[in-house]
C-alpha cells in the first residue's frame, strides 16, 4: 500500500517544475505588509529579548530645579522619615548620575539600588543634578530619578538632601531590609 501511494505521488508530481526564485511577490500589492506592520516588525527586532529593569521611560511630571523631592511609603514611621529628611543617617553608598543620558541613568539607578538592597545597604545618596543648564528649565534627570525611585519596591522613602550633601541636586534614599536582615531581626526579637 505504501508503494502504491508513493508511485501515485510521483505520477502526480511528474509535470511540476522548480521555480526560478524562492521569493514570492504579490503582483497587486494586496498582501504586502503595511507601513505600520513594517514599523512594528522593526521595533520587535530591535527590542531586547527581556529587560528585567521595570523602570518606566514614559513622560513624567517635570519638577523645578529647586523643588524639594519628598516621598515615603505607608508604614514608614515619621521619626525614621524625619531622620532621613534631616540627613541624620550615615550614607552607606552614593550614585553619581550627573552627565548621564536617561537610558544610562535608568540602568545605573536600577542596578545600584538592586545591588545595595542585596548587600543590605540601607541609606543611599543619589546625585542627579538640578537641571539648571537644561533647556527647557525643568530638571529632567531629577524628575525621572524621583519617578523611578517611587517605582522601586525596596525604596521606603526618599527626600531632597541637606545642603552639605548636595541640596536640590541630590536625594537621600532609604531602602527596606533585605530578606537576610529581616530574618536576623526576627530571630533577635524572638530571643527577647
C-alpha to C-alpha distance for 124 and 112, rounded to whole angstroms: 10
- Contacting residues for 88 by C-beta, under 8 A, at least 6 apart: none
Indicate yes or no: pTM above 0.75: no
DSSP classification of residue 157 = E
Residue 163, pLDDT > 90, answer: yes
Q: Where are the beta strands (DSSP E) in the chain?
A: 70-72, 93-96, 123-127, 155-160, 170-175
- Minimal CA–CA distance to 126: which of 109, 139, 103? 109
Band of the pLDDT at 127, cuts 50, 70, 90?
very high
pLDDT in tens, 58-90: 888 888 899 999 999 999 999 999 999 999 999
Check residue 35 and give its pLDDT.
Answer: 77
Q: Decide which of 34 and 103 is more confident.
A: 103
Taking residue 156's Cβ as centre, other Cβ atoms within 10 Å add up to 21
pLDDT for position 42: 76
The rounded distance, in Å, linking the Cα atoms of 134 and 123 is: 28
**Res. 92: pLDDT tops 80:** yes
Q: How confident is the model at residue 181 (pLDDT cuts 50, 70, 90)?
A: confident
| Average pLDDT of the residues in 16-42 | 71
Q: Evaluate if residue 38 carries a pLDDT over 80.
A: no
Q: If you search the block for the grid coordinates 529581616, which residue do you land on? A: 182
State yes or no: pLDDT of 124 exceeds 80.
Answer: yes
pLDDT one-digit tens code per residue, 132-145: 665 556 789 999 99
Average pLDDT over residues 149-154: 94
Q: Percent of the chain at pLDDT above 70?
A: 88
Amino acid at each position: 500500500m505504501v508503494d502504491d501511494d508513493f508511485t501515485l505521488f510521483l505520477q502526480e508530481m511528474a509535470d511540476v517544475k522548480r521555480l526560478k526564485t524562492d521569493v514570492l511577490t504579490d503582483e497587486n500589492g494586496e498582501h504586502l505588509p503595511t507601513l505600520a506592520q513594517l514599523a512594528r516588525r522593526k521595533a520587535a527586532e530591535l527590542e531586547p529579548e527581556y529587560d528585567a529593569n521595570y523602570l518606566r521611560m514614559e513622560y513624567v511630571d517635570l519638577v523645578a530645579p529647586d523643588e524639594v523631592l519628598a516621598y515615603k511609603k505607608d508604614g514608614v514611621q515619621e521619626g525614621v522619615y524625619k531622620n532621613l529628611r534631616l540627613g541624620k543617617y550615615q550614607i552607606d553608598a552614593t550614585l553619581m548620575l550627573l552627565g548621564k543620558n536617561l537610558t544610562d541613568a535608568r540602568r545605573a539607578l536600577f542596578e545600584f539600588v538592586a545591588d545595595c538592597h542585596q548587600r543590605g545597604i540601607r541609606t543611599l545618596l543619589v546625585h542627579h543634578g538640578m537641571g539648571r543648564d537644561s533647556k527647557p528649565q525643568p530638571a529632567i534627570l531629577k524628575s525621572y530619578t524621583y519617578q523611578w525611585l517611587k517605582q522601586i519596591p525596596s525604596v521606603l522613602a526618599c527626600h531632597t538632601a541637606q545642603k552639605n550633601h548636595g541640596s536640590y541636586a541630590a536625594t537621600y534614599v532609604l531602602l527596606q531590609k533585605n530578606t537576610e536582615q529581616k530574618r536576623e531581626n526576627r530571630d533577635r526579637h524572638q530571643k527577647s
